A and B are shown apart, each in its own frame.
Chain A
Amino acid sequence: MTEHHIRLTEESLEKQTTTINVGPTHPATHGVFQNIMEIDGERVLSTVPTIGYIHRAFEKIAERRPYYQITPLTDRLNYCSAPINNIGWHLTIEKLVGMDIPKRVQYLRVIIMELARIADHLVCNSVIAVDTGALTPFTYVFQWREKIYEIYEEICGSRLTTNIGRIGGFERNFTDAAWQKIESFVAGFPKMLEEFENLLTRNRIFMDRCIGAGPISAERALNYSFTGPNLRAAGVDYDVRVHNPYSSYEEFEFNIPVGTTGDVYDRYLVRNKEMWESLGIIRQALEKLKDHDPSVFHADAPDFYLPEKAAVYTKMEALIYHFKIIMGETDLPAGEVYHSVEGANGELGYYLISDGGRTPYRLHFRRPCFIYYQAFPEIVSGGLLSDAIIALSSLNVIAGELDA
């Protein structure tokens, strides 16, 4: 028992407040983490977050894994948008070895990453609605998240933890079925998103619940190293895609939506607006792809890019490369590199130290969730318990990313 469990109020010797547990397994946490809250009636006085319930020691494991085997670990960080994590990791390696990536591959990656961002934001925003008592929008958007998962499935074979792509590109070219699914998504999604917004954005009950709940000022958000939609909702237009572009993001036209008060409603609006921007980016990428050779889907980097499976069975050289890459026998240059991508939750950074061996000497994931979740007690203290719940869902804390 720590001092946080029992807190006596100043004016009374008897305890007037109530200690409650939110989590580790609680419908409102949407993940495995705990908050020990001290409440006075409906007001939250203080909260002590406990995390680490699903810590899997990824950074330690990564020190014994060849580079390819680290991609599946990154899946399990923010599992709502795994392709961004995978591609971010591949980009880190490519930066370390200085690999040139064909334009078409970069655009394909942009499409996948933006689809992943939409899938992530859909879940987050619809879950805010669920926590305010509106279950219907959630069922609407999950049909479309499913469509995004079908696109992943068509490209890499898996859905949630995708392990998508390779160092240097994609494992195979996008099939016709994949293109059809992407096109039907781009055509049909705006109607659903409009419907979703009609249900919520100007909904009086939703607005009353969200406006003013769990706010954070821009100054505090920066001091807490917030990134992503949560920082932008507070009014700071920091976006890695614009500040340090990767995968040719500098060629795309898009806006960075920002909020003003950093409350739940602003976070909701920023995420919604970002989905529209993502959709615009995907449209532009589809347009840009028309000028490029449709057969290119990976870089010419035989030391790192896994050869085609059919060639492995029939060609000696492909077999040798396959074996070398799978066994981790291609050494990377020694060096230190920090690379970050704009994950759905913010700046997802990879700090990689290579000593020239087959595995990283040290790999550190800068996980946006872990960093901004520490502001949660400050955000919710003094507010209502029910506001704390929607503040938690609007921060989009993903347990996998929180605990690594």
Chain B
Amino acid sequence: MTNEQVKQQLLAQFPDLGAWEEQYGMLTFNVPAAKNLEVIQYLYSDAALQFRFLTDLTAVHYPDRAGEELCVVYHLHNLVENFRLRMKAYVPVADPRIQSVTPVFSGANWMERETYDFFGVNFTGHPNLTRILNVDEMDYFPMRKEYPMEDPTRTDKDDEMFGRGG
């Protein structure tokens, strides 16, 4: 199984997958947010692909990308062929909705809860989308970039050469 084979097979089935990359050898592509579950189901059940292992699920916040600020990242693994791929779905921060992949992977349950907890991505169809590591009363999503680690009003660490910068 090579990157090119997987890419061609996926493109034949889903022509709207895009942004193909192979950074450090790992096949990466974007999927339209509405189709994430469909593509994952296909990757899971296709006899040739057999991506039956969800290695990781997380999100990244890109505040500068208008309309696609939140990126949900899936790492899938075909254990038989020992082949990994990375799939990304972008959703707007104003309405971050994406289908839950818990119908396919039980293990996605907590990973999605964690992603919701920190980024506020709403996984529709998730059985219990509540906060997992933070307190239930929290009313914001702390891993988003608008929440800086340090108090932004501090000036004692501003330094032209070695300051902490943005």
Give the interface of A toward B (CB within 8 A). Answer: 51-52, 55, 57, 59-61, 63-64, 95-96, 220, 222-226, 236, 238, 243-244, 327, 329, 335-338, 340, 347, 349, 351, 353, 358, 361-362, 364, 366, 370-375, 403-404
Interface residues of B in 80-100 (CB under 8 A from A): 82, 84, 86
Query: Would you call B38 an interface residue if the criterion is a C-beta within 8 Å of the partner chain's C-beta atoms?
Result: no
What CA separation (Å) do A226 and B148 show in the bound complex? 34
Question: In the assembled complex, how far is the CB of residue B121 from the closest CB belonging to chain A, in whole angstroms?
Answer: 14
Query: Would you call B29 an interface residue if the criterion is a C-beta within 8 Å of the partner chain's C-beta atoms?
Result: no
Asked if residues B60 and A366 are in contact (CB atoms below 8 Å), the reply is: no
**Quick one: given A59-B143, A60-B143, are A338 and B149 in contact (CB under 8 Å)?**
no
Contact pick for A52, options B73, B79, B111, B134, CB 8 Å: B134
Asked if residues B133 and A51 are in contact (CB atoms below 8 Å), the reply is: yes
A–B pairs, 9, beta carbons within 8 Å: A52-B134, A60-B142, A64-B148, A223-B105, A226-B107, A236-B79, A338-B26, A338-B84, A351-B56
Question: In the assembled complex, how far is the CB of residue B2 from the closest CB belonging to chain A, in whole angstroms?
Answer: 16
Give the interface of B toward A (CB within 8 A). Answer: 23-24, 26, 28, 52-56, 58, 60-61, 73, 75, 79, 82, 84, 86, 105-107, 109-111, 114, 118, 131-135, 142-143, 147-150, 162, 164-165
**Quick one: given A236-B79, A335-B23, A338-B75, are A222 and B53 in contact (CB under 8 Å)?**
yes
Asked if residues A238 and B60 are in contact (CB atoms below 8 Å), the reply is: no
Asked if residues A61 and B107 are in contact (CB atoms below 8 Å), the reply is: no
Question: In the assembled complex, how far is the CB of residue B156 from the closest CB belonging to chain A, in whole angstroms?
Answer: 15
Question: In the assembled complex, how far is the CB of residue B155 from the closest CB belonging to chain A, in whole angstroms?
Answer: 17
Query: Which residue on B lies nearest to A225, using beta carbons?
Result: B107
Question: In the assembled complex, how far is the CB of residue A238 from the closest CB belonging to chain B, in whole angstroms?
Answer: 6
Contact pick for A337, options B24, B56, B107, CB 8 Å: B24
Asked if residues A329 and B143 are in contact (CB atoms below 8 Å), the reply is: no
What CA separation (Å) do A374 and B142 show in the bound complex? 23
Contact pick for A244, options B82, B107, B133, B148, CB 8 Å: B82
Question: In the assembled complex, how far is the CB of residue B166 from the closest CB belonging to chain A, in whole angstroms?
Answer: 9
Interface-central residue, B84, B110, B142, by most chain A CB under 10 Å: B110
Asked if residues A335 and B24 are in contact (CB atoms below 8 Å), the reply is: yes
Question: In the assembled complex, how far is the CB of residue A88 from the closest CB belonging to chain B, in whole angstroms?
Answer: 14
What CA separation (Å) do A393 and B28 show in the bound complex? 37
What CA separation (Å) do A220 and B54 show in the bound complex? 13
Query: Which residue on A lies nearest to B164, using beta carbons?
Result: A64
Contact pick for A55, options B52, B86, B134, CB 8 Å: B134
Asked if residues A225 and B53 are in contact (CB atoms below 8 Å), the reply is: yes
What CA separation (Å) do A361 and B55 show in the bound complex? 21
Asked if residues A364 and B56 are in contact (CB atoms below 8 Å), the reply is: yes
Interfacial chain B residues near A403, Cβ < 8 Å: 133
Asked if residues A52 and B23 are in contact (CB atoms below 8 Å), the reply is: no
Interfacial chain B residues near A364, Cβ < 8 Å: 56, 58
Beyond A96-B24, A364-B56, 13 additional contacts (C-beta under 8 Å) are A51-B132, A64-B149, A95-B24, A224-B106, A224-B107, A225-B111, A337-B23, A358-B165, A372-B107, A374-B106, A374-B109, A374-B110, A403-B133
Interfacial chain B residues near A238, Cβ < 8 Å: 79
Question: In the assembled complex, how far is the CB of residue B98 from the closest CB belonging to chain A, in whole angstroms?
Answer: 17
**Quick one: given A52-B134, A349-B55, are A225 and B23 in contact (CB under 8 Å)?**
no
Interfacial chain B residues near A337, Cβ < 8 Å: 23-24
Question: In the assembled complex, how far is the CB of residue B78 from the closest CB belonging to chain A, in whole angstroms?
Answer: 11
Asked if residues A374 and B107 are in contact (CB atoms below 8 Å), the reply is: yes
Interfacial chain B residues near A226, Cβ < 8 Å: 107
Question: In the assembled complex, how far is the CB of residue A358 from the closest CB belonging to chain B, in whole angstroms?
Answer: 8
What CA separation (Å) do A364 and B55 show in the bound complex? 12
Query: Which residue on A lies nearest to B163, using beta carbons?
Result: A327
What CA separation (Å) do A329 and B162 show in the bound complex? 8
What CA separation (Å) do A61 and B118 show in the bound complex? 13
Question: In the assembled complex, how far is the CB of residue A47 from the closest CB belonging to chain B, in whole angstroms?
Answer: 14
Query: Which residue on A lies nearest to B114, using beta carbons?
Result: A370
Interfacial chain A residues near B24, Cβ < 8 Å: 95-96, 335-338
Question: In the assembled complex, how far is the CB of residue B38 from the closest CB belonging to chain A, in whole angstroms?
Answer: 19
Interfacial chain A residues near B143, Cβ < 8 Å: 59-60
Interfacial chain A residues near B82, Cβ < 8 Å: 243-244
Contact pick for B105, options A55, A225, A366, CB 8 Å: A225
Asked if residues B149 and A60 are in contact (CB atoms below 8 Å), the reply is: yes
Question: In the assembled complex, how far is the CB of residue A301 from the closest CB belonging to chain B, in whole angstroms?
Answer: 18
Question: In the assembled complex, how far is the CB of residue A93 from the closest CB belonging to chain B, in whole angstroms?
Answer: 12
